[in-house]
Structure 1
């Protein structure tokens, strides 16, 4: 494994690119964004909103895809309070909420005065799908994540609301397959969060095409006819997850630290991805496959934004990155109806033998960042 010279991201992250100086694309993007004329970008957003505001009379002006988290609060704040739009919020419901997450979700609607349409996925089928996705590709939340991308577009078509607001372009800003910045989120479905596979990959006696309606992406003809225009808000405003959290707290958002509900293993913050328990098995699965997990993601982001040094980032990664939260795992297994023994039997095949070696029954990184010459 090789690591970025500025942050702590390894070259095993899918789609990541290092330049000749050994610096990852995400770090270069962070440098470039310091030179952006944000006032100009903000005016572009105002002009875009002018085009859609009141287009449907007293009807909704736009759709905002939300989870209820800090970034959702920020998105609604910008579009409702600053842009004076009338947004419809759409959400794919969690299989199991944290109390903190459910509070934040309800707070967002009550504080900003917005309607929400929430999709409750078929739990009977989801249990089968999540386990099958874990066994086949090591990505248990494929079904849920796909719905997150499909549902806002489908609602835009069904309700004739062309403008759809997403938060940040994770593939561009965090290092991925998209290396050019764009405000359009039309290709978001291809950012590799949800692997592209043929439907036959999933079909069996338990899962049929009728079960997949909520994750079938609209056709290009449907999207074109409805003039759907999905955008990344992070293109138009100076996006910073930590500052989003600070603003969200002014409008009632609470972190896990505020509520004391859950001290998570493997995480170095208490305010991101806090709405569900079992979902967090998914980001941890990057660790056996790619040698890094959530602590690496957050530490790298903090380094880029100047909140910590690279040396501190390495310490955080060493202490936290390998840990799978016990409460998250229990919640996931309770939902899918399998045992912890069955889980670890499945995971064993996903440990990347090029990156890990088994020592006394424990998989350990062969060449972690803290053992490399800095």
Structure 2
């Protein structure tokens, strides 16, 4: 395992990061573009693209924006609607693992931006059936979320003939430098299958063993290429045109729109993915089992590249969070109807045996190989000079909830208005 000498990523990153002769990874190299590109020029190019899709009659939507109760939804809608004057249709996939904070944020998004929104809520029993299958086949409780979030906007674009979908940051660019910002890479079925869906399309889940039928996966099927071509659907990523800084963007939205934040189990980031009980909890612990690292590495790497955090500070945060057990596992097991030993038995089939070993009690222990090799990589000095001191993520006051806390919320209006 080889580590980047600038950030905290290794050559074993599941998105296939590359490390050059100077010991610097492709993600850090592409990230350098953020300080080199003329972002005013890039934003003007975005405006030219948007002008092509503005509905001159004003009787229809100009674009689709996928949203949730977290991530950069507020920032994207504020930019596209309020600053750039587009009329978006918001779409959201109900991930079923919803927190009360996320429900309130999504409700406030609907109200404060005065946008129409369409929501897909798949039958809970179907979602549970698919999740059991995805745990067994891929070691993932999140396949249905990733699939639904990436296919529902495309389905709506085809159905209502709205050709432009506007996404936030492309993960392959922002994390591992799979593309340059100048490539202006757009949404593709291929990338979705290979990376978002771990190589398994909806049709690949049909199985007598899991009891999944064609009908069960209907809502997760990608539209036919001919349908997409007929409408001319394309999906652009804003981080190709806007200098992407999710921490700064969220803090703008806290000030402007009272975006709500909260602590998470396995990372210091209190802004992203707070709408989900599992993303930085059970789902992230599974990532630790499979790959030996978690979201705290992603988030610390991002802050290191943005020159707000030293590599040593990042390493200390990783040490603080990497071993934390999921706080919400019982909630998930009760929801899906599964015993803990059965859950871990299925995950053990996907466990990284290079990083995990059985002890004398036949329990799995992390070998610490990841952290040992990461610390050894500090011997090469490619550190960035800090442009500012790292400031903790803001924790806002919790608002009054209309929903029960500490349980998944399937349907709710979110705010008492």
TM-score interval, smaller chain: over 0.9
The superposition leaves residues 171-212 of structure 1 with CA deviations (integer Å, 9 ceiling, x where unpaired) of 121016x33443342224145121223624532262101111
1:251 maps to which residue?
257
Q: What CA distance in whole angstroms lies between the structure 2 residues aligned with 1:48 and 1:29?
A: 23
Tell me the residue number matched to 2:222: 217
2:371 matches 1:369: yes
Mapped to 2, the partners of 1:214 and 1:129 lie a distance apart of 12
- Residue 64 of structure 2 aligns to a residue whose secondary structure is strand
Q: 1:238 aligns with which of 232, 243, 252?
A: 243
* Contact persistence 2:266–2:284 (CA under 8 A): no
Q: Give me the whole-angstrom Cα distance separating, in 1, the residues matched to 2:88 and 2:78.
A: 11
Q: Deviations over 1:193-239 (max 9, x none)?
A: 21223624532262101111111111111111101121001111111
Indicate the SS of the match to 2:144.
helix
Q: Which residue of 2 aligns with 1:64?
A: 65
Structure 1 residue 108: deviation in Å? Answer: 0.9
* C-alpha spacing 1:201/1:89, structure 2 compared with 1 (3 Å): closer
Q: Using the alignment, how far apart are the partners of 1:330 and 1:24 within structure 2?
A: 38
1:196 corresponds to: 199
Q: CA 1:91 to 1:358, structure 2 compared with 1: closer, same or farther past 3 Å?
A: same
Segments of 4+ moved more than 4 angstroms:
none
The corresponding residue for 1:290 is 291
Deviation at 1:31, TM superposition (A): 0.9
Output the CA distance in 2 between the equivalents of 1:153 and 1:322. 38
| Contact 1:183-1:233 within 8 A present in 2 as well | no
Secondary structure of the residue aligned to 1:253 is: coil
1:45-98 deviation digits (Å, cap 9, x = unpaired):
111111111246321111001112140000001100111111000000121321
1-side partners of 2:305 and 2:138: how far apart? 31
Contact 1:63 1:163 in 2 (8 A): yes
- 1:1-374 aligned at under 5 Å gives the runs 1-14=1-14, 15-55=16-56, 57-175=58-176, 178-181=178-181, 182-187=183-188, 188-190=191-193, 192-197=195-200, 199-204=203-208, 206-249=211-254, 250-256=256-262, 263-280=263-280, 281-327=282-328, 329-359=329-359, 361-370=363-372, 372-373=375-376, 374=378
Calculate the aligned-residue CA RMSD, in Å: 1.8
Q: Distance in 2 between matches of 1:169 and 1:131?
A: 28
User: Equivalent residue of 2:290, what SS?
Assistant: helix
CA contact 1:61–1:86 (8 Å) conserved in 2:
yes
Q: How many residues align?
A: 366
Q: Secondary structure at the match of 1:156?
A: helix
Q: Deviations over 1:109-136 (max 9, x none)?
A: 1111111100001211111111221122
Change (3 A) 1:65 1:189: same
Retained in 2: the 8 A contact 1:279–1:332? no
- CA–CA separation in structure 2 for the residues paired with 1:4 and 1:245: 28
User: What's the counterpart of residue 405 of structure 2?
Assistant: none
CA contact (8 A) 1:293 1:322 kept: no
Moved more, 142-151 or 362-371: 362-371
